Each structure stands twice: as structure tokens, then as C-alpha cells.
Structure 1
Amino acid sequence: MAPTPTAIRVAQTLGITTSAYVAGSILAISYLSVPSFLLAPTPILARQWQLCFDRGKIINPAIALVSAVTYAWLSYKLYGTLNHPKAEIYAISAILTLGIWPYTIIGIMPTNKKLFKKCEEMEGMSIEEKATEVGLAKGESTKELVDRWGMLNLGRGALPLVGAVLGLWTTLD
């Protein structure tokens, strides 16, 4: 068996590492940050969520794109066709990692829009002011929306995680 070229090993490492990073980043927000946010008064909660969202939307999609392009390159470079099982698995890893975009648009955007509106409503409030959210339908308070968002975000994080696991499995197989 011929040794694997360095460029292939670097690409395998990059694809797996970046998709695992994106998964970890997204999942950490739901598992670590959201529960902490929920302890804060509503105006602070809204600001914390908005800041977290703004930072995440800058870095995670870009890193997911790097990962997906790397997996796609591996699929093409190693096998030249999708008629090879390993090529198909690298392609699936690419699709899963990029899946954070449609998942966000289809599954999370309705909640995001409601949270953006809440953030706008509380923009001028000082830390000392209490936000009273009266007359809301069940599940429509800022805390309930952030909690729902955190649960939906877990699903988004699972996509690049499965992509990383498949990429690792294909590399080691």
C-alpha cells in the first residue's frame, strides 16, 4: 500500500477538525451559554442572546464552508467519482456540515425573528429596568424563545458533528 500524500492528510485533518469545531461551537452555545443566559433579567438576556448570535453567525458558517469544501475536494481527489463508497461518505460529510445553513433558515429563523423583535423592544432599557411581558401567548416570552432556540440549536450542532464522525470514520477505514 502506497503512503498517503501529505496534501491528502492535511485535507483530511482540516475537514474533520473544522467540522468538529463548528459542532462544538454550536453545541456549546446550547449546552453552556443558553442556561446561563436564562438566569439573567429579560433585558440582559436579550442582549446576551443577540451578542452570541452575532458572533456565531460570523465564524461558524465560514468554518463550515471550509470544512465542506475540504470534504468535497477529498471526495473528488481521492475517488474522482461519487460511485465509490468513500467518496459518497466524504460528500455526505460536506452536505451535513453545510446543512447548518438550510437548518437555520427553515428550522430556526422563525424563532430568530421573534427574538430579534424582542431585542429591538428592549434596546433602550437599562439593566435596572424590569421588562414585563404581558399578554403573550404561551412560548412567546423572551426566556421561552431563548430556551426554544437553544433546543433547536442542538439539532443544528448535530449536523456537523455527524459530518465530523463520518469524515473520521472514512479517513480511518
Structure 2
Amino acid sequence: MTTKPTPIRTAEITALLLSSTLTGLSLSYSTTLTPRLLESPIPIMLTQWTHAFAQGKKYMPPPAIAAGAAYMYLATRRGLANSRMYAYIAAAVLTVGIVPYTFGVMGRVNRMLEGRERTVRKLELELEGGEGVVVTAEERKGLEEEGAWVKGEVEGSRYLVDRWGMLNLGRAVMLGVGAVVGFVATI
């Protein structure tokens, strides 16, 4: 029995650890965070969602890219069977694929939720008599045009958060399948 060289073992551990950890994190956003958000009053829900989204946007892509790079490194090893090479490539694509998935599949919902949160925050400041804070008719119209706020459709915000949680499951599935395919290629 031969042991694997340290760089290969390190790449395997890095790829599997990062992709499986991201799977759990993404899954927890949909199964734990989203239901708690939906229990909150709309303004709080939107603020909390915005903070969680900003944190995820900051911290999830770098490890996904690192895991994808490690899977690609593993795919380029000499003497690797084609099936294992393709499995590592698939794991890399699935893992890094969460970035374009977020923009392409979830982008519209993300923008609408961010816009609603900005609108609610600004309206609250206006109602509190915030110094110099006035939501002009032009600003309201601009926010409506970008799909940020639909007057009289407050429950639409809950629908969007719920929709975001469902769409986020797609990212968790991509990461999970990537981790499993990477694991199978490694053993």
C-alpha cells in the first residue's frame, strides 16, 4: 500500500472539508435561518435577511473557490483514471457553481429583498422624523420601478424570503453533490 504525497492529501482534505462545511452552512440558511426570519415582523425580517445575506456574500465564495481549485488540482494529476478526473472536475464545477447560481437564479429575489429593506429603513427614518430624511415621490417611483417595493403588498416580503430559502436549497444541493462526488473520487 502506497501513501499519497502530502500535496495531494492536503488538496483532498481541503476540498472535502470546505465543500462539506459549505453544504452544511448553506443548508442551515434554508432550514434554520429562513423559518426564524419568517417569524419576525417585516422590517426586522428584512434587516436580518440583509445582514445574513451580506455575511454569506462575503464569506461563502472564497472557500467555494478554494475547494473548486483543490478539486481541479486533483483532476490534473498524472495517471489518474478518466472517471476520477471527470468526477473531480464535476465536483469543482458544482462547488464553484454556487457563485453564478446566486447571480443567475437568485439574483432577482436578492435584489428585490435588498431594495425592500432599503425602502423600509428609509420609510422608518422618515416616520421617525429623521433629520433631513424625506422619501420623495421620485425616490418612491424609482424604488417601485426596480421592484423593491409594491405598495400594499407587505406580505410579498415574506413570500420573497421564503422563495429565497427555497432557491438557496439549490446551492446546498450543488455543494452537497459536489462534496459527495469529490469524496467518491478520493476513495
- For normalisation by structure 1, the TM-score amounts to 0.88
User: Take 1:122 and 1:79, find their aligned partners in 2: how far apart are those partners?
Assistant: 58
Does the aligned pair in 2 maintain the 1:78–1:87 contact within 8 Å? no
Is 1:159 aligned to 2:174, yes or no?
yes
Q: Cα offset for 1:146?
A: 0.3
Q: Tell me, which stretches of 5 or more residues in structure 1 are unaligned?
A: none
Distance 1:18 1:2, change over 3 A: same
Aligned length: 164
Q: CA deviation at 1:164?
A: 0.4
Q: Distance in 2 between matches of 1:4 and 1:50?
A: 44
Contact 1:72-1:94 within 8 A present in 2 as well: yes
CA deviation after TM superposition for structure 1 residue 135, in Å: 3.4
- In the TM superposition, what are the counterparts of 1:10-159 in structure 2 within 5 Å? 10-79=10-79, 84-124=82-122, 125=124, 134-136=151-153, 141-159=156-174
CA distance in 2, matches of 1:59, 1:79: 35
Q: Which has the larger radius of gyration?
A: 2
Distance 1:79 1:97 in 2: 24
CA contact (8 A) 1:79 1:87 kept: no
CA RMSD of aligned residues (A): 2.1
Cα distance in 1 for partners of 2:25, 2:48 equals 16
Contact 1:16–1:168 under 8 Å retained in 2:
yes
The one-character-per-residue Cα deviations of 1:4-41 (angstroms, maximum 9, x if unpaired) are 11221111011011011111111111110010011110
TM-score (norm 2): 0.81
Instruction: Give distance in 1, aligned partners of 2:82 and 2:33.
Output: 41
Structure 2: stretches of 5+ with no match in the other structure: 129-149
| Deviation, structure 1 residue 101 | 1.3
- C-alpha distance in 1 between matches for 2:105 and 2:159: 16
Residue identity in the other structure for 2:5: P
SS in 1 for 2:76: helix
Identity of aligned residues (%): 34
Q: Which consecutive segments of 4 or more residues in structure 1 shift more than 6 A?
A: none
CA positional deviation for 1:134: 4.7
- Give how far 1:2 is off: 2.5
CA distance, structure 2, for counterparts of residue 6 and residue 20 of structure 1: 21
Give the equivalent residue in structure 2 for 1:7.
7
